[in-house]
Amino acid sequence: MHKTLPLPPLTAMRVFEAVARHASFTKAANELGMTQAAVSYQIKVLEDRVGAPLFLRRPRQIALTEVGQRLAPAVTQAFEQLSEAYVAARGGAQGTLVISTIATFASNWLARRLGSFQIAHPSLAVRLQTEPHLVDFTREEVDIGIRSGSGDWPGLAAHRLIDADFTPMLSPSLAASIGGIKEPADLLRLPLLDTADPWWAKWFKAADVSVEGLASRPGSSMGAQVYEGNAAAAGQGVAILTPAFFAAELADGRLVQPFDLLCNDDHAYWLVYPETRRNSPKISAFRQWILGELAASSS
């Protein structure tokens, strides 16, 4: 006969999860619509059941005890699984999908294709957040991230999307201003955008061009490929870019890629999300869509 394990009150567990996540009784009370006294009572109920304190109460702050630190991740995961099961029972992907991504991927790849995902999932709203930092899924309300790197992030599932290849690009008019680009060294006769970018040195080395003092040359640093690509298309200089993000500009002639030489520093762009949320309906829907889009575009 299966023995039923004793479980603590669900309300007390929900309160504990919120207090642990916020590290604050007050913030947890605001989130849950409870008084601070009610939150404190539920934590006391749970501590009595566990038989040990879960928080260290200090002036103006609280911290998880060792027992609390062991319990908190399991409780958070359990509530995430409950939430996902509830959404699935209601009919699949619904609500809002929050995607944290970098500016260039958002504007030059994702935004141009996202309409087909929205048509396929009309009950799921998408919110894009563009930010340079690596999002902390345990502290920020984000479902999915698009990151550049090697793909090794503990606790996260990672799917390789686009290799971070790079090569110089410029406007046809800028190339024509020096009679055309015939060999890689010709690029040094033109203004280069973001000369401190290590991609430049790597590409010129692969092209067998000496570039002593390249990083000290004057050059604008714009912080994202999308801005450098726009500046290059406007004839402001030569940018070093990932071709996959500028397929439209290359196709319509706003940018030209003078050489076939592509370099890579073993980085790529990845779709990432917590392993514990792999079966979330909205994450599954987006994962299937984006991997399908990439497969279709490469075939």
Task: Give the pLDDT of residue 211.
Answer: 83
Closest to 270 (Cα-Cα) out of 171, 168, 161, 196: 161
Given a cut of 80, whether residue 5 has pLDDT beyond it is no
> Which residues have a Cβ under 8 Å from the Cβ of 167 and sit 6 or more positions away?
203, 240, 241, 243, 257, 259, 261, 262, 263
Percent of the chain exceeding pLDDT 90 equals: 54
Whether residue 161 is contained in a domain is answered as no
Whether residue 118 is contained in a domain is answered as yes
The boundaries of the domain holding residue 14 are: 10-88
From 132-141, 232-241, 252-261, the region with the lowest mean pLDDT: 132-141
Whether residue 159 is contained in a domain is answered as no
CB atoms within 10 A of CB 182: 10
Q: Say how far apart CA 292 and CA 286 lie, in whole Å.
A: 10
The count of structural domains within the chain is 3
**Is residue 117 located within the same domain as residue 243?**
no
280 — alpha (psi -120 to 50), left (phi > 0) or beta? beta
**Is residue 146 located within the same domain as residue 274?**
yes
Mean pLDDT of the 49-69 span: 89
Task: Give the pLDDT of residue 131.
Answer: 81
Give the max Cα distance, the chain: 86
Q: Say how far apart CA 191 and CA 178 lie, in whole Å.
A: 12
Listed in sequence order, the DSSP H helices in 162-280 are 172-176, 198-206, 225-233, 247-251
**Is residue 275 located within the same domain as residue 149?**
yes
More confident residue, 79 or 3: 79
The alpha carbon torsion through 11, 14, 18, 24 (nearest 10 deg) reads 30
Task: Give the pLDDT of residue 91.
Answer: 46
Q: Say how far apart CA 144 and CA 13 lie, in whole Å.
A: 26
Task: Give the pLDDT of residue 188.
Answer: 93
CATH number for 48: 1.10.10.10
Confidence category of residue 82, pLDDT binned at 50, 70, 90: confident
Question: How high is the mean pLDDT of the chain?
Answer: 88
Of 60, 88, 116, the one marking the end of a domain is 88
CATH number for 278: 3.40.190
**Is residue 146 located within the same domain as residue 173?**
no
Of 35, 56, 88, the one marking the end of a domain is 88
Task: Give the pLDDT of residue 1.
Answer: 46
Confidence category of residue 221, pLDDT binned at 50, 70, 90: confident
**pTM metric for this prediction:** 0.67
Task: Give the pLDDT of residue 84.
Answer: 66
